[in-house]
Amino acid sequence: MMKKFFANLEETIGGMLFIMMLIVLTIQIFSRQVFDNPLTWSEGLAKFIFIYVAYLAVSVGIKENGHVFIDYFVKKFPTTVQTIINYVFQFIILVAIIFMGYIGYELSMRKVPVQIVSLDISYVYMYMALPLFSILMIYRLIERNVKEFRSSKSEVK
């Protein structure tokens, strides 16, 4: 049960957050159009939730190997060279995620004293999404590459 939940962690949490965002925006539209009284907190909360949903979606893309890869020229090489190129690209992606996580952490530390006025919380909670989800992205990248490596080894036998 727990293994299945963790296998679909991003989809589960992302789906719940997306529904929450939809509810918040629907309440905002209803409040503005029907009562002519826009809510001050709804836009900030929707933006906050959207950022988390977006980073969860990136993690799903990494998990499912859904990133863009133009392989027209790569397919012209022998299989061994294709495999090497693939792992070089995976390493570049890993370095980019680590770099993004570091930059996200640095930015979030600068935002500690700055408040999201409409939500009365620090911007650090919004900016910490990138370093936190970078850890999840790294885990999913390693997990997927280990699975691919193991399946390629079993195909060779």
pLDDT at 59: 92
Query: pTM of the prediction?
Result: 0.83
Which are the contacts of 121, defined by CB distance < 8 A and separation ≥ 6? 115
CA 53 to chain centroid: 7
| CA dist 144 → 22, 79, 140, 148, 149 (Å) | 31, 19, 6, 6, 9
pLDDT at 131: 95
Q: Mind listing the pLDDT tens digit of every residue in the chain (157 residues)?
A: 677 777 888 998 999 999 999 999 999 999 988 888 888 898 889 999 999 999 999 999 999 887 777 777 888 889 889 889 888 999 999 999 999 999 999 999 998 888 888 888 899 999 999 999 999 999 999 999 998 888 877 765 5
pLDDT at 157: 56
Total domain count, the chain: 1
Range of the domain at 55: 2-156
Which are the contacts of 136, defined by CB distance < 8 A and separation ≥ 6? 9, 10, 59
